[in-house]
Structures are given as structure tokens and as C-alpha cells.
Amino acid sequence: MREEDTRDNEEKKEGQQTSALLMKGATILVIAGIVSKIFGAIFRIPLTNMIGAEGQAYYSAAYAVYNLLFVIATAGFPVAISRMVSSRIAEGDFLNAHKSYKLAMKVSWALGIISFIVMFFGAGAIASAYKNPGAEASMKAISVALLFTPVVASMRGYYQGRQNMKPTGITEVIEQMMRVAVGLTLAYMFYKTNLQYAAAGATFGASAGIIAALVAMAVIYARDKEPRSKLLEGSVVKAETDKKRLKELFAFLIPITIGASVMPIMFNIDAGIIVRRLLATGWDPVMAKKLYGLMGGFCDPIINLPNIFIDAICISLMPAVTTAFTLNNKKDMDDHIKTGLKTMMIITYPCAIGLIVLAKPILTMLYYRKYDEALLAVPALQILALSIITLSIMRTLQSCLQGIGKMMLPVYNLFIGAIVKAVSSYILLGIPAVNINGAAIGSVLAYVTAGILNFRALKKYTNVSLDMKSIFFRPLVAALIMGAAAIVSYKLLFLITSSNAVSTLVSVMFAAAVYFVSAFLTGAVTKDEIELIPKGDLIYRLAVRLKVAK
């Protein structure tokens, strides 16, 4: 009996260690993501105040095309390489893990060159097809980034597979710093004279950023030579050919890339039909472009902020699930799935609810120089806030399915979601009273559809059992309490100060404090869960001192 207890305790300890490693990796990426998004906000907010909705129409169209080609050329590499590396390292095969990475680098260079050629030389035709010829310069400016992003993505994937998230975090911050510095400088030089050139200058910032990231990653890789050599020397020796590795790479790469391409395709659906549909329903060309610019320029930068956490958790979750699956450790796999989902809810519920109740104050504070346009964007932001929750669930379940080797299922499910998006957006955009909000509703419906299908598939293949009350209900209650505190405090502060900026910032900070307290009081977070994150013990001790935890 004692032996069984000892074994149970050891298994529990191992499970906690692997979950802690997952959360450590996620935390590193979250911190890097926050810093990157702060730089992103520094970039997008003054950029939008400079070029307005019309300039954002050029900028957003270029980014819609860039993101699609970016995903095709790069999105599959971090996930595919991470999975190939992590599965081999789990078996002590560091040698073939490294050879898999080297092979992927050659493929990534080829895809980068092809992507650059397509976007640079096809920019004019694409911009014309979108009824947005002014976006051609922006498309050419950002195409340079496509030469190098696949290589950087491959190097990041290699370290992610080793469950080392620091290189990814460091290079993301460097990339954003350079993007902001170059992009804003060039946009400032042209915004008073030529909005097309100003938007092009802003998009070129992405090209400068990825070049800086490549240089930084090369330095990290060079400094890793000695530790890497020790791992290779201690590796088990297994016979494996380049042909086998290449076949495995493409077996992962193709479905992951197709699946990852669906979301940029959804954004290109917006780029392709929004202006056309608005024109067809009676809007004049200038206003149609401005309405489209509201989505890309005013709403997307805010909605994308929670993606820091979504991306970080998914990147850390996938190799952890892969390792548990490779070792046939169902308990660890179930724990990772539950941890991933609950962490998502704890983070995305307050983000979504906060944006819903404070949409108007936040938009008018950030885009004070474009006040009237900011007001027009309020309903779209409130609707898109719901997509933060639905996207996080869909992405988490997608990462879990990829972790257990079901690569194509999330692809099929997201493709079905994209069809729902296209049909619903087309119909709703044609209703004048709904207009641009129809595209936002379409996005929410797409993620809901894909998320439900992903859950059904994960349940079928892992038989995971989820505590709905703990994962979904308690964090929601805590977030609703926070939302009420946010809107009440904002209204009271505005009555006192008559300052939108002061009232918004103070109410956000107050709401964060209320959420911290309510998360413990409602049981949304527990002692074991909070201690999984770095410095979690300090956070828990603070909760005890505040008498909101025992």
C-alpha cells in the first residue's frame, strides 16, 4: 500500500513538474508578448491617429495579403518542427531532432523566396482585385519580410520543441522594437503629403523588424553551440534518413499550414467582400473604405492584444501534449488539456467583458484625434470582443489535436468555420443597419463552429473529461463581477473628473484589482494552479494577506 502511495505521489509530482514547465514557457512568451504588444500599441495608435481610416484601408489590405502568404510560408514550421523535435527529445534522440531542424531550414528558405516573388510582383494585380489600388505600395514594402520570416520561424520552432521559449520571446521583442522605430519614422515622413506612401512606410517596418530578429536569432544559435554539442554527444543513436524526415516534415507542415491559412483567408474574405458589399448596398466609395478601415485600424489592434496569451499558451501546450502522447501518459495529457483551457478562460473572459463594457471609453481615449471614426467602431469592437473567447477555445483544442497527431481534423473544422464566416458576413454586410458589424459577427460564428467541432474530435480521440464548472463557469462569474466594477467605477469617475482618459485608466486598474479578488473568492483559481506559474507562490501569499485566499 505504501509503495502504491509512493508511486501516486511520484506521478503527481511529475505531473506538477510538467505542468509547471508548460506554464513557465507560457509565462515567458506572455511577458515577451506583452512587451511586443506595448510596442505594437505604440505603433498602431499614433499611426491610426496620423493616417486615419483611409490610410488604414491601404495598410490593412496589405497586411491581409501579407498574413496569408506569411502563414503559408511560415506558420507550419514552428509547430511542425516543435513537434518533430519534442517527440525525438522525449526518446533521448537529440541527434535526429537537430537534423530535422536543419532540413526544415532548407525548405523554409525556398518558401520565403517564392512568397516574396508572389507578393512583390503581384502587388498591383492584387490591389486592383480588392478595389483598393492605393494599397500596392504597401504590399511591395512588406513583401521583403517574407524572405526572412520562414527562417526565423524555423529557428523559433526548434527551441520551442526543446521547450525553451526564451529565444522566441527575445526575438519577438527585438522584432517589434525595430518595426516601431522604422515604421513610424517612415509614416511620419509622408503622412502629411501622401497617405499611400505613409502606409507603405509603416508596412516596411515589418520588413526591418524581421531582419533584426534574424540577426538576433543567429547570435542566440551561435551562443548555444556548446550546450547543443553536449546534447548531441549524449544522444541515443537511431537510424533515420533525410527522406523519412522530409516525409514527416511535410506530413505535419502541409495540414498545419493549410489549417493556419484558413484564418488569414477569413481576413482576406473581409478584404475582398467588405468594400464590394458596402458599395453594392449604396455606400459611397470613400465611406465604404473608411468602414473597412475601422475594422483593421481601430478594432484589430485592441482585439489582438489578448492573442499574446492565446499564442503563448498554445505554443507551450502543443509540445507538452505531444510529449505526454508519445510516452503514452494519459494522465499528464489530460492535465495539460485542462490546464490549457482553464488558463485561457481565466485570461480571455476579463479581456472580452472589459472591452464590451468599456468599448467607447477605450476607443475614444486611444483615437482621440479621430473621435467620430472611433465612435463608429464601438459596436464592431464589442462584437469582436466575444471572438476573443471563442477563438481561445478553438485554438486551445486545435493545439491539443495537433499534439496527439490529428493534424487534418482542425483544418477541416476551421475550413467549415470559414464557410460559415463567408456566408454570414456576405448576408449581414448587405443589411445597411448592420454594415461592417456583419463581418464581426461572422468571425464570432466561425470560431464557435470550429470550436464545437474541435471539442467533439478531442473528446472522441482522448476521452478527456472536463470540469465545466471549474474551467468555464467560475472564471466567468469572476469576470462578470469585474465587468460590473469597471463600468460603475468609470461612470462615477467621469462624473467627478470629466476626463475620459483618467476615468478609463483608473477604472481599468480598479477592475483588474477586483478581478484578482473575485478570482480567488469564486474559486476560479486555486493554490495549486496559481503556484504553477513563475513566482506564483508570491502571488498566492499576497492573496492570503488580503484575506481572499486561505
Nearest Cα residue to 99 out of 258, 260, 231, 254: 231
Both 391 and 512 in one domain: the answer is no
Both 37 and 171 in one domain: the answer is yes
Q: How many CB atoms lie within 10 A of CB 36?
A: 23
Question: Does 4 map to a domain?
Answer: no
Q: What is the pLDDT along the chain (550 residues), one digit of tens a residue?
A: 444 444 445 444 444 455 555 555 556 656 666 676 667 666 767 787 777 777 777 887 787 788 777 777 666 666 777 777 777 877 778 888 888 778 878 888 888 888 889 889 988 888 888 777 888 888 898 888 888 888 888 888 778 777 677 888 888 888 888 988 888 888 888 878 788 888 888 888 888 999 999 999 899 988 888 888 888 887 787 877 878 888 888 877 777 777 666 666 776 677 677 778 888 887 877 787 777 777 777 888 788 777 777 777 776 777 778 777 777 777 778 888 888 888 889 889 999 999 999 999 999 998 888 788 888 889 999 999 999 999 989 988 988 888 887 877 888 888 899 889 888 988 888 888 888 888 889 889 999 999 999 999 988 888 877 788 888 899 999 999 999 999 999 999 999 999 999 999 999 999 999 998 898 888 887 766 665 555 556 676 777 777 766 6
Q: What is the dihedral of CA 23, 28, 33, 39, to 10 degrees?
A: 160
Both 225 and 354 in one domain: the answer is yes
Q: Give residues with Cβ within 8 angstroms of 126, minimum separation 6.
A: 65, 119, 139
Both 520 and 376 in one domain: the answer is no
Structural domain containing residue 219: 13-234+241-466
Both 274 and 419 in one domain: the answer is yes
Question: Does 33 map to a domain?
Answer: yes
Question: How many angstroms separate the first and last alpha carbons of the chain?
Answer: 31
Question: Does 226 map to a domain?
Answer: yes
Domain boundary among 466, 491, 508: 466
Number of domains in the chain: 2
Both 381 and 487 in one domain: the answer is no
Domain boundary among 466, 489, 515: 466
CA distance 118 to 65: 11
Report the amino acid identity of residue 336. H
pTM > 0.75? no
C-alpha dist (Å) from residue 100 to 106, 255, 278: 10, 18, 48
Both 489 and 424 in one domain: the answer is no
Question: Does 444 map to a domain?
Answer: yes
Both 369 and 474 in one domain: the answer is no
Domain boundary among 410, 435, 466: 466
Both 455 and 475 in one domain: the answer is no
Maximum alpha-carbon separation in the chain: 81
Residues 544 and 550 sit within 8 Å (Cβ to Cβ): yes
Both 122 and 63 in one domain: the answer is yes
Residues 77 and 155 sit within 8 Å (Cβ to Cβ): no
Locate all alpha helices (DSSP H) within 358-407, ordered by sequence.
359-366, 371-376, 378-403
Question: Does 548 map to a domain?
Answer: yes
State the number of CA atoms in the 13 A half-sphere of 498 facing the CB: 0
Both 402 and 363 in one domain: the answer is yes
Question: Does 41 map to a domain?
Answer: yes
Both 384 and 532 in one domain: the answer is no
Question: Does 5 map to a domain?
Answer: no
Question: Does 2 map to a domain?
Answer: no
